[in-house]
Structure 1
Amino acid sequence: MTLQTTGPISLGNVGAELGRAAGTTTSLGETAVRNLAGIASGAIKLSNLYGKSSVAFTPAGGLSSGSPVALSDWAAGGGNAAVTIQCTQSAVWTWSGSGGTGSFVNVASGGSSTAITFRLSNTGYSIRQSFWTVSATAGGVTRYWQVELINEGYA
């Protein structure tokens, strides 16, 4: 869950954000804490960690449904067009769209996983296209994408 943006913050809060068990020692100078704070060297203080989250999506998503990140792939010759989105923690994935014939999503909408893959296969001689609107939530962080796949099948 994202660290608070105001008020007292403790190394216990930071350790929990990093996914550590309660009572595990966490220190300001260690690499994981510096990475979370975004401070590679020099002085670091607890206030550098306000609003930070260890949750990361790859590729990074948009901050709202009104500004999703567009992802696409194209394939031909009987191959697969595919897009995979990953998260550093298990996320709840919500999606809707027009998959159509040959489309596949490996996580049901509302399901949880650390990654989701959208795929469109085509072994015919026609063009297939699919489009999905996607959001994911992990650790209190929500991100948004639009996925478009095009598969021209056999040429």
Structure 2
Amino acid sequence: MFSAIRSAARARSSLSLRTAKSSSVMFRTLVTTRYTKEHEAVAFDEETGIGTVSITEHAQQSLGDVVFVELPVVGSKVGKGDQIGAIESVKAASDIYAPVSGKVLEVNERLSDEPGLLNRSPEHDGWLCKIKLAEPREMKALLTAEGYKAACES
């Protein structure tokens, strides 16, 4: 009985492998997230050269309830370390710095009407802006997840 089940399972898996191979070409995009000591994060898509900038979970917890977000101007060129915006919360105001150099392609317009999105989803739905990196190798100078965690703990 078990051999019949195994034979049927092998037949199904080999059929699905053949159809997957012949029906389409698979593409894989590598997205790497790196961090700054100032609590910004960049999710970099190597295929497009675009980095999505956000604040970290640690930053939003430190800020408390966000009430206002100032974002950079679309089309502006920024250098690594340049101030590109600000976040105001019930506890404090904090500047946002460009973790990488490049051109601002897009900003998250939802944050104008819904600044609390930074509290609910700082590194995903609450992203700040998208930058076309001028120097993709700048990503290597940023902290890995482990490095960022260690910096927060010290």
Q: Which TM-score applies when normalising by structure 2?
A: 0.26
- Determine which structure has more spread, i.e. the larger CA radius of gyration: 2
Q: Which TM-score applies when normalising by structure 1?
A: 0.26
